[in-house]
Amino acid sequence: MKPTHLRLRRACAAAAATGVLIAPAAAGSASAASVPGRSTPAAAAAATPTPSPSANAVTGFTPLTPAVAAQLDEAVRRVMREAQVPGVTVGLWAPGKGSYVRSFGVADKATGAPMAPDLHVRIGSETKTFTVTALLQLVDQGKVGLDDHIGAYVTGVPNGDRITLRELAGMRSGLFNYSMDGDFITQLEAHPEKYVSPRQLLDYSFKHPVQFEPGAEFDYSNTNLILLGLVVEKITGRPLHEVITQDVLGPAGLRSTVFPTSPALPVPYAHGYTDQTASGKAVDSTHWNPSWGWAAGEMVSDLQDLRSWARTLATGTLLKPATQAERLKTTPMDIPGAGYGLGIFDVQGWIGHNGSIPGYEVLAVYLPSARATMVIVLNTDSQYKGQEPSTLFGEAVTSIVTPDHVYPGHKPVAPETG
């Protein structure tokens, strides 16, 4: 997935929108956050760690007056109408500028139950931020090094004696994205309720040749996070879901975020709808098994927890300052003004991640220069004119409140007329 989510046919680049779902992308995985795809040769040549684009930025944030709220309402409704989104909740918070929290549409098409701010949703590639945080905490404890090779922890990895944990977290390993494999897609579409193990996911990846030499390019791959999840388990001796629950969610004070071990969702929750099916017909995917996303995209959260997490993630309060600094060193993606760090992106100054998994998309980002937070959650991942709906909402909202930092900064889709 791209920085946005874990999509099946669309890759998620790790930068702006989920997994990173920013621009039109190829297939991602459970963490279907769409991220820009592989960087161009020119970008790859310049892909030495660079300061975050927002490092020296100074920006304003439009006060959230009733008039501005009305503009936001209109913009959100327009995107909903054009992209045929069932339900969405948008949250904006900025010190001294007010807040805006609104839900639109329905959470359940069958009953007509309204979308609401307290509903749980699957967060796709936003999961990557939690997995990498767990890894970086182990770095802080001296139990692992970012420049360790993955082969020291997991056997059978192509180029495992040369790919570092840093390159895995930064989407520069060259390993094939398992969620792009044809057999994987066929099996998931035929049996979306079936459990898939981490080793099975790696098998889908490892039957393909590596894409490029370690560190040579940027290419968003869910395979990287499956490997990092296994590293965390090996070092701690605990299941990944327990490590994240106890060592990340607990200290972060997140009480509505879970790493599930079954397809069940905490109540209350929004139903999710996807067109990632063999027929292309949209279906209710609420209870599909998210195990195929695992460390890359299996988690569940809600608006307020994502608000809190966006700031925690961007400011690094769970990590040592030096480790957070390493995390925020970005390398170019294929979107102007965007860079990917270690399980985190900086897109036009907005720091965070997005996520997409069949039925759901989220975008949770923080703008340090304004100390502003934006969270968008919706209950579909069906694209509109090749773009992720979470990206379209992010663009519509930031065009109004932060015109100097429009997410993701690409040319917008022209509104429909007539």
| Distance (Å, whole) CA 211 – CA 90 | 37
The residue among 241, 247, 246, 221 whose CA lies nearest residue 300 is 241
What pLDDT does 59 receive?
52
Q: State pTM to two decimals.
A: 0.88
CA distances from 3 to 16, 239, 245, 379 (A): 5, 25, 23, 18
Specify which residues 25 forms β-bridges with: none
Instruction: Give me 24's structure tokens.
Output: 């039109």
Contacts (Cβ under 8 Å, ≥6 apart) of 265: 120, 122, 286, 287, 300
| Distance (Å, whole) CA 334 – CA 411 | 14
What pLDDT does 410 receive?
54
pLDDT one digit per residue (tens) for the chain, 418 residues: 343 434 433 333 333 323 344 432 222 333 333 333 333 322 332 333 333 444 334 358 999 999 999 999 999 999 999 999 999 999 999 999 999 999 999 999 999 999 999 999 999 999 999 999 999 999 999 999 999 999 999 999 999 999 999 999 999 999 999 999 999 999 999 999 999 999 999 999 999 999 999 999 999 999 999 999 999 999 999 999 999 999 999 999 999 999 999 999 999 999 999 999 999 999 999 999 999 999 999 999 999 999 999 999 999 999 999 999 999 999 998 788 899 999 999 999 999 999 999 999 999 999 999 999 999 999 999 999 999 999 999 999 999 999 999 999 754 444 444 4
Give the distance from CA 119 to its chain's centroid: 19
| Distance (Å, whole) CA 272 – CA 118 | 15
| Distance (Å, whole) CA 215 – CA 265 | 37
pLDDT tens digit sequence for 292-308 = 999 999 999 999 999 99
The H-or-E segment that residue 136 falls in is helix 127-140
What pLDDT does 335 receive?
82
What pLDDT does 60 receive?
87
Order of strands, edge to edge, in the sheet holding 360-367?
98-105, 87-94, 372-378, 360-367, 350-357, 345-347, 338-340, 331-332
Helix (H), strand (E), coil (C) string for 42-62 = HHHHCCCCECCCCCCCCCCCC
| Distance (Å, whole) CA 219 – CA 197 | 23
